[in-house]
């Protein structure tokens, strides 16, 4: 159907056979899309927990609520998941960000300045210069999901002790 036509078109328009085709989320099969969503949720939940108590990476404000889920915080990516999908699960590329900053076309210069303050210029420049491509497999996404669910449990357990 339509999905097969979009995939065929994407392959036909690819610059060379050596360049992998990166499918958009709406072009993935349902199982892969669901696994991607689960990996995203697990990773961003861990990011929000890791950054709990820190100000928004973009605006420097703090939230009114301390809730890490369903509240005021997102896992905001410095290089977007669309533009740099290979950095989607890179821990240096994602930080707790107030939803209003993440969803309204945030200030890149502020994010970058605050990111340099957190992780240093060398690591920020490494993110900026990383232009590899990567097509996530279902097995990789399951591993990411399971890894970050485990890391979140361990982080929360350590905070309770």
| Residue 2: exposure state from Cβ atoms within 10 A (0-12, 13-18, ≥19) | exposed
**Residues 54-65 as b or e (16 or more Cβ within 10 Å = b):** eebbbbeeeeee
Q: Quote the CA–CA distance of 72 and 67 in Å, as a whole number.
A: 8
- For the chain, the straight-line distance linking the first and the last C-alpha, in angstroms and rounded, comes to 54
Q: What is the pLDDT of residues 89-141, one digit of tens each?
A: 999 999 999 988 988 777 889 999 999 999 999 999 999 999 999 999 999 99
Query: What per-residue confidence (pLDDT) applies to 1?
Result: 63
Instruction: Kindly give the interhelix angle for 121-129 and 108-119, rounded to the nearest 10 degrees.
Output: 120
Query: What per-residue confidence (pLDDT) applies to 65?
Result: 64
What percentage of the chain carries pLDDT values higher than 90? 63
Query: What per-residue confidence (pLDDT) applies to 103?
Result: 84
Q: What is the pLDDT of residues 4-27, one digit of tens each?
A: 554 444 444 443 333 334 445 545
Q: What is the pLDDT of residues 74-86, one digit of tens each?
A: 999 999 998 999 9
């Amino acid at each position: 159907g339509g999905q097969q036509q979009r995939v065929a078109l994407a392959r036909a328009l690819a610059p060379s056979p050596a360049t992998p085709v990166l499918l958009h989320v709406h072009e993935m099969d349902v199982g892969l899309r669901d696994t991607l969503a689960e990996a995203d949720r697990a990773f961003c939940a861990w990011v929000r927990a890791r950054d709990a108590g820190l100000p928004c990476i973009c605006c420097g404000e703090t939230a009114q609520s301390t809730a890490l889920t369903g509240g005021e915080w997102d896992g905001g990516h410095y290089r977007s998941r669309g533009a740099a999908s290979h950095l989607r699960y890179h821990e240096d590329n994602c930080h707790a960000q107030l939803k209003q900053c993440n969803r309204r076309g945030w200030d890149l210069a502020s994010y970058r300045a605050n990111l340099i303050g957190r992780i240093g210029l060398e690591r920020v420049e490494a993110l900026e210069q990383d232009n590899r491509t990567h097509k996530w497999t279902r097995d990789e996404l399951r591993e990411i999901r399971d890894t970050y669910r485990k890391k979140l449990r361990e982080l929360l357990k350590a905070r309770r002790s």
